[in-house]
Amino acid sequence: MSSLKWIETKNYDELSEIASDLFEQQIKQKPTSVIGLATGSTPIGLYNRLVERNKAGILTFKDVTTFNLDEYVGIDPNNKASYHYFMNEHLIDHIDIKKENTYIPEGHINDLEKACHVYEEQIQKSGGIDLQVLGIGVNGHIGFNEPGTSFDSLTHIVELTQSTIEANQKYFDKPEDMPKSAITMGIKTILQARKIILLISGESKQDAFSRLRTGEITEDFPASSLHLHPDVTVIYSGVK
Ligand code: GLP
């Protein structure tokens, strides 16, 4: 039975504020927290607030470890559209975290199978993810787990769907430069996190939001796997 906790917010600012409060609580309770991070436009407000709180001395990341959900395959970490670049720009370069404690899947190396295994091992070695933040794709993907992905999946390589390519092409100078595959934590990897926060913002996510609300659980809709987890908070704005 689904136990998702739903928090409706007035707007994107409030959504970001509540999410950053939950992050702050987690890190203050356990300074060595392992945090799972997401990219996309939705968590940017959260990351801005974490940077502000860190600069104001309210919150330290000095003993925190982070693991990102995903990265494109075959993209240089210095490419502005890479998730490595995104994380440095929006969070990592601006807080007091130790760079060696920030992990992002390595989509640019030759042995991608190995990169997947190594990533899983690194997560296990760290003690597992305490708090994972997620966004949602218009097709219900979480990380880059597209519809049809097994709920038993660990970190793996995925072929991106047309819907995801269309949604994300805007981040590339030339749309045709967008990679067609990615490396992502699997659904099982995500569900192993002790706590999960899902952020949903804006009209384009209305269909995905409504479908999640129904409580139906199906591999055709990856976010529905969250109904199987005991501690998920959904914070939303601009959808009903
Ligand atoms: C990408 C990422 C997801 C993210 C989704 C939504 O495809 N791989 O992790 O949740 O986009 O992005 P946005 O927040 O920009 O809508």
Give the domains, in start order, of the chain with CATH numbers.
5-181+193-237 (3.40.50.1360)
> Ligand 1: which atom is nearest the Cα of residue 205?
16
Judge whether 173 counts as a catalytic residue.
no
Has 141 been annotated as catalytic? yes
Distance 39 CA to ligand 1 centre (A): 6
Measured in Å, residue 45 CA sits from the centre of ligand 1 at: 14
Residue 137 C-alpha to ligand 1 middle, in angstroms?
5
Cβ–Cβ under 8 Å, residues 174 and 148: no
Alpha-carbon torsion (229, 195, 152, 198), positive or negative? positive
| Bridge partners, residue 7, by sequence | 235
Nearest CA to ligand 1 atom 9: 143
Selecting among 54, 68, 70, 71, the annotated active-site residue is: 70
Predicted confidence at residue 61, as pLDDT, reads 98
Q: pLDDT 10s digit of each residue in the chain, 240 long?
A: 578 999 999 999 999 999 999 999 999 999 999 999 999 999 999 999 999 999 999 999 999 999 999 999 999 999 999 999 999 999 999 999 999 999 999 999 999 999 999 999 999 999 999 999 999 999 999 999 999 999 999 999 999 999 899 989 999 999 899 999 999 999 999 999 999 999 999 999 999 999 999 999 999 999 999 999 999 999 999 999
Q: Ligand 1 atom closest to Cα of 136?
A: 10
Specify burial of residue 210 (Cβ count, 10 A radius: 0-12, 13-18, 19+). Answer: exposed
Q: Which of 47, 75, 141 to mutate to test the pocket of ligand 1 (most atoms within 8 A of CB)?
A: 141
Give the pLDDT confidence score for residue 195 in this predicted structure.
98
Q: What is the pLDDT of residue 1?
A: 55
Would you call 70 a catalytic residue per the annotation? yes
Catalytic residue among 54, 139, 145, 168: 139
Distance CA(93)–CA(99), nearest Å, equals 8
pTM of the model: 0.97
Q: What are residue 195's phi and psi, to 5 degrees?
A: -135, 150
Name the β-bridge partners of 66: 35, 102
pLDDT computed for residue 2 by the predictor: 73
User: Is 108 noted as a catalytic residue in this protein?
Assistant: no
SS3 sequence of the chain: CCCCEEEECCCHHHHHHHHHHHHHHHHHHCCCCEEEECCCCCCHHHHHHHHHHHHCCCCCCCCCEEEECEEECCCCCCCCCCHHHHHHHHCHHHCCCCHHHEECCCCCCCCHHHHHHHHHHHHHHCCCCCEEEECCCCCCCECCECCCCCCCCCCEEEECCHHHHHHHHHHCCCHHHCCCEEEECCHHHHHCCCEEEEEEECHHHHHHHHHHHHCCCCCCCHHHHHHHCCCEEEEEECCC
Residues at CB less than 6 angstroms from ligand 1: 38-42, 69-70, 135-137, 143-144, 164, 168
Residue whose C-alpha is closest to residue 87's, from 31, 132, 32, 47: 47
How big is the CA angle at 82 (ends 116 and 187), to the nearest 5 degrees? 40
Of these residues, 146, 156, 168, 229, which one is catalytic?
146
For residue 105, CA distances in Å to 40, 157, 204 come to: 16, 10, 27
Q: How far is 235 from 146, CA to CA, in rounded Å?
A: 22
Using alpha carbons only, what angle is made at residue 128 by residues 225 and 68, rounded to the nearest 5 degrees? 70
